Amino acid sequence: MIVVLAIGFWAGLALKIGIMAAIVPVVALPIIFAELKLSAHMQHRIGPYFAGGRYGWAQPLADGLKFFQKEDLVPDAADKMVYKLAPYLVLGAAMAVFVVIPFGPDLIGRDLDLGVFYALAISSISTIGVLIAGWSSGNKYSLIGGLRAAAQLIAYELPLFLAVVGVVIQAQTMSMIGIIDAQAEYQLFGLEIAGNAIAIPYVFPQFIGFVIFYIAALAELSRTPFDMPIAESELVMGYLTEYSGFRFAVFFIGEYIGIFTMSAIMATLWLGGYDPLFFDLSGLNDIAANAIGALVLFGKVAILVFLMIWMRWTFPRFREDQLQDLAWRILIPLGLANIAVTAFFKVVF
Amino acid sequence: MDFSLAGNWVFLVLAVVITAAAMYTVSTRNVVHAALALVTTMATAAAIVIMLGGEFVGWVIVLVYIGAVVVLFLFGIMITRAQVGKATALDHEGNVRVMAAVVAGLMFAAITYGIVELFGDAQLPEEGVVRTVDIADSMFGRFVIPFEAVSFVLLAALIGGIVLARRDEER
């Protein structure tokens, strides 16, 4: 039991929370900027250009300031209390995942024994935020958007978990650090690969799981081609229709935080996390390992985020029934087969 | 109660929150508010389980009950009856409140008696977190037959549900 006056514990906790709170804008703003700039270039536009002097690097900051000075609107037909609560549920659920994301061998909020399970469980709370946002706005487009979002998030939570189970079976742990260490063991199912000279990240043995998780993550994040909940051409802006100003900004940041945390989970589970591909950081001293580890993780996340933005301008939006078909008829059976095959290899070798 | 322990203070806060949320769940006239209060109740219950060292069970409560069951509740409520700002008459006719209070009181008494009889003032061991590996070992080792039996029953219930709900097109 922790004694109330144990200053060290509370100071450490406050420090960790402070760092987490500072990390959130630091990771969200570059992703927002990347989205603006990459989308523009993929469409042969220049994109933001003037804000900040060069390349429009300050555009996300300027957007943020614009959101803050807008009037705080609450629709007359809205359920006011629930309407105000919804954005914080979404952002809070997205931020809570940071607790288990390992930026380096020691740079982790808490290496929970349940690691990846915790991350997926806590992020499932954001479904409720989206659903009540749609309902409480008192607008039929919002409601339809919220319902679509909920149906989609429930359907794709299952393949998301099934994809992770393969990795967990192979690594024999759910702890994020444990999974990274398991990938740095220079062997595969106890077999010798390439003279045990290179560490094999799980993206190779678990490629199917990686693809399933990537597709399901796109759907969980409501990214194109799975952006039916906010389909502009049908539903105005779905559950976000009535939100403006600061509350919209909270949803917006929550969305990009979600992109970061999902990419970080993928980088950890399949790409070796803070270890550079095919090698590990065990030869370095603590400070160097943590610094390089954080850079490596951010690099992997950047690649995955780039892929997500690329997909957005490559694929058209699915139809609602195609979305459900993909989840229930293709991804879930494939995920189950992947688990069976992984378990077979694990037991036989 | 020893007020120098942080754990006791946390428990006190959680106990107040869970009681208030549970009362609000059954007393509000707005179904969606009731569902949200249920979310708070579940989350607090999960927090108490985690305080007791049952990390896995705590997060399963979050995942299954908050992430799936309550979402389905909300989903069902929203596509059927909930209109913003309108209170629906949720009470049954007759004097059900008294009966509900009696049942709740009896449940409370039974659970309290059971817990006190079973555990008394037993203390949790230091580092009391139950490791997931241990749960897996006992579930798929010692308790594998009950586990399989339960999953068989659930599968049967699932198939039964589909059979009851499904309407085949008449030819």
Q: Where are the domains of chain B?
A: 6-130, 131-171
Cβ–Cβ contact B17 with A under 8 A:
no
Which pLDDT score is estimated for A204? 78
- Taking contacts as CB-CB distances below 8 angstroms, the residues of chain A near B39 are 128
Matching residue, tokens 């943590």: A290
Tens of pLDDT, residue by residue over B56-78, are 888 888 888 888 888 888 887 77
Lowest mean pLDDT among A187-196, A204-213, A222-231, B149-158: A187-196
> If you average pLDDT over residues A125-131, what whole number do you get?
85
- Taking contacts as CB-CB distances below 8 angstroms, the residues of chain A near B55 are 112-114
The secondary structure of residue A230, as a DSSP letter, is G
Rounded CA gap, A262 and A220, in Å? 9
Is the confidence at residue A96, as pLDDT, over 50? yes
- A289 inside domain: yes
Which pLDDT score is estimated for A193? 62
In chain A, how many domains are there? Answer: 1
Is the confidence at residue B44, as pLDDT, over 60? yes
Q: Which of A74, A79, A140 to mutate to test the interface with B (most CBs of B within 10 A)?
A: A79
Phi, psi of A110, rounded to the nearest 5 degrees: -160, 125
Token couple for A52: 């900040």
Q: Tell me if B71 and A128 make a contact (CB, 8 A cut-off).
A: yes
Burial label, B10 (beta-carbon count in 10 A; 0-12, 13-18, 19+): middle
CATH topology of domain B6-130: Four Helix Bundle (Hemerythrin (Met), subunit A) (1.20.120)
| ipTM for the whole complex | 0.79
Closest chain B CA to residue A3: B5
Is the confidence at residue B145, as pLDDT, over 80? yes
Which pLDDT score is estimated for B25? 86
A164/B123: higher pLDDT:
A164
**Three-class DSSP category at B151:** helix
Which pLDDT score is estimated for B109? 94
**Three-class DSSP category at A191:** strand
pLDDT-based confidence at B149, cuts 50/70/90? Answer: very high
Rounded CA gap, A176 and A113, in Å? 8
Return the CA Rg of chain A: 21
Tens of pLDDT, residue by residue over A287-339, are 877 888 888 888 889 999 999 888 888 888 888 788 888 888 888 999 899 98
Tens of pLDDT, residue by residue over A134-179, are 888 877 888 888 888 888 888 888 898 898 988 888 888 888 888 8
Percent of chain A at pLDDT exceeding 90 = 3
Q: Tell me if A4 and B62 make a contact (CB, 8 A cut-off).
A: no
Q: Which of B29, B74, B81, B127 to mutate to test the interface with A (most CBs of A within 10 A)?
A: B74
Which pLDDT score is estimated for A131? 84
Closest chain B CA to residue A156: B68
Cβ–Cβ contact B32 with A under 8 A:
yes
pLDDT-based confidence at A195, cuts 50/70/90? Answer: low
pLDDT-based confidence at B170, cuts 50/70/90? Answer: low
Which pLDDT score is estimated for B82? 59
- A201 inside domain: yes
Domain enclosing residue A180, as ranges: 81-348
Token couple for A61: 């900051």
Contact A204, A277 (CB under 8 A): no
Rounded CA gap, B72 and B38, in Å? 13
> If you average pLDDT over residues A4-27, what whole number do you get?
76
- A175 inside domain: yes
Rounded CA gap, B46 and B60, in Å? 8
Instruction: Please give the torsion angle defined by the CA atoms of residues A296, A300, A303 and A304, in that order, rounded to the nearest 10 degrees.
Output: -160
Matching residue, tokens 């993550």: A217
Is the confidence at residue B138, as pLDDT, over 90? no
Cβ–Cβ contact B22 with A under 8 A:
no
For the whole model, what pTM was predicted? 0.85
Mean pLDDT, rounded, of chain B: 82
Cα of B162 vs its chain's centroid, Å = 25
Is the confidence at residue B171, as pLDDT, over 70? no
- A194 inside domain: yes
Give the CA angle between residues A289, A291, A294 to the nearest 5°: 100
- A2 inside domain: no
- Taking contacts as CB-CB distances below 8 angstroms, the residues of chain B near A122 are 59, 62
Q: Residues 6 or more apart from B142 whose CB is under 8 A from it?
A: none
> If you average pLDDT over residues B39-48, what whole number do you get?
90
CA distance B73 to chain A (A): 11
Q: Tell me if B55 and A143 make a contact (CB, 8 A cut-off).
A: no
Q: Tell me if B84 and A79 make a contact (CB, 8 A cut-off).
A: yes
Contact A82, B36 (CB under 8 A): yes
- A55 inside domain: no
Which pLDDT score is estimated for B166? 79
Is the confidence at residue A1, as pLDDT, over 50? no
- A338 inside domain: yes
> If you average pLDDT over residues B161-167, what whole number do you get?
83
Angle, helices A207-220 vs A245-270, to 10°: value is 180
Mean pLDDT, rounded, of chain A: 82
Q: Tell me if B82 and A135 make a contact (CB, 8 A cut-off).
A: yes
Cβ–Cβ contact B88 with A under 8 A:
no
- A177 inside domain: yes
> If you average pLDDT over residues B147-170, what whole number do you get?
86
Cβ–Cβ contact B145 with A under 8 A:
no
pLDDT-based confidence at B107, cuts 50/70/90? Answer: very high
Closest chain B CA to residue A144: B79
Which pLDDT score is estimated for B93? 67
CA distance A170 to chain B (A): 14
Question: What's the Cα-to-Cα distance from A345 to each of A340, A341, A348, B91, B140, rounded to whole Å?
Answer: 9, 6, 5, 56, 19
Tens of pLDDT, residue by residue over A222-245, are 887 887 777 677 777 777 887 877
Best CA proximity match to A164, nearest among A155, A176, A149, A181: A176
